[in-house]
Amino acid sequence: MSSKITSWTFYCARCDHWQSNLEPRIESTKIHDSETVEEKEDDIDFLRPVREKNYRKIIARIRNFSPDLRSILDIGCATGQFLKQAQAAGLAVTGVEPNPRLARTAQRQGLPVVQGYFPDAIEPGKKFDIIIFNDVLEHIPDAAGVLESCLNYLTENGVIVVNCPFSEGIFFKIGKLHFSPKLWDRLWQRHFFTPHVHYFSEKSITYLAEALGCNASKPQPLTTLTKEGTWERINLDPSLGRAKKLAIWSVVTVGLPLIAQLPADTRFTILSKRTAIS
């Protein structure tokens, strides 16, 4: 990979993959490194509206892919929002979450969540029909190694679902022009405790699947923004002044119908073993 745009982002032209050397600090109870006081231990899921919509789409796609897929492991399940929706849809759920605060929030809701890192926190020999990464794989430096570990925990016809940002999205395309360094920083969550280490593309996720002996389904678009929750997302960044935040919020909310028609920044794909169902 060669350095591109900044000294901390890198690009491989052969596989169309972006990477950074940013360091995730997963176990922090804070979100942004400018915070001086740690957050209270509660549900900080300001992405709830958009995630609920996307999770419904993912669950429906899993059902259509194969109705025999019943048990699911959510890696990096946070406060358990996906687990609740999957459970309501009739799936047998398990979550694993390394952040103690988020894991406790999920556990208080009665969800079967183990606090720790995958795969060490999961009992050896345990098998699942579905292993899912919801906005998680892009934060894991050794993404290929973690996906390879998943194969040991899948049933014979099990699948891996990856829901993450893709570099073909409109915001990433604009960010690459580098008119605004702050936009590039925000796309990578540079000043957050959970920065992005990867930006996959349809090409690079296919290469990654092939290296695992899997097929990757055509990535399906997900919703990136909804009016509900947009202000909270913008307001989260303390590097922006209130006037700029209001300006960004106004432009984004007015432009939501147009944004919905443009290439999606968030997509999901299903990786299935070549010997399994197609």
* Average pLDDT of every residue of the chain: 86
DSSP 8-state class, residue 200: B
Q: How far is CA 93 from CA 13, 61, 74, 125, 247, in A?
A: 38, 17, 8, 17, 41
Return the sign of the alpha-carbon dihedral for residues 219, 224, 228, 234: positive
- What pLDDT is stored for residue 209 in this prediction? 97
Distance, in Å, from the CA atom of 219 to the CA atom of 267, rounded to the nearest integer, reads: 6
Please write the tens of the pLDDT for every residue from 181-233. Answer: 888 999 999 988 889 999 999 999 999 999 999 999 999 999 865 556 565 56
**Taking the model in full, what pTM does it have?**
0.84
Q: Considering only CA atoms, which of 156, 137, 157, 135 is closest in space to residue 146?
A: 137
The domain spans of the chain are 2-25+42-223+260-273
199: phi then psi, degrees, rounded to nearest 5: -130, 105
Please write the tens of the pLDDT for every residue from 79-89. Answer: 999 999 999 99
Distance, in Å, from the CA atom of 261 to the CA atom of 254, rounded to the nearest integer, reads: 14
Is residue 157 classed as helix, strand or coil in its secondary structure?
strand
Query: pLDDT grade, residue 122 (50/70/90)?
Result: very high
Euclidean distance between the first and the last CA atom of the chain, given in angstroms as a whole number: 32
Count of CB atoms situated within 10 Å of the CB of 36: 6
Please write the tens of the pLDDT for every residue from 45-77. Answer: 556 778 888 999 999 999 999 989 999 999 999
Q: Considering only CA atoms, which of 166, 158, 274 is closest in space to residue 220?
A: 166
For the chain, give percent helix, strand, coil, nearest 5: 35, 20, 45
CATH of domain 2-25+42-223+260-273: 3.40.50.150
Residues 6+ apart with CB under 8 A from 164: 133, 135, 136, 137, 138, 198, 200, 266, 267, 268
Residue recorded with tokens 């002044």: 241
Distance, in Å, from the CA atom of 63 to the CA atom of 212, rounded to the nearest integer, reads: 23
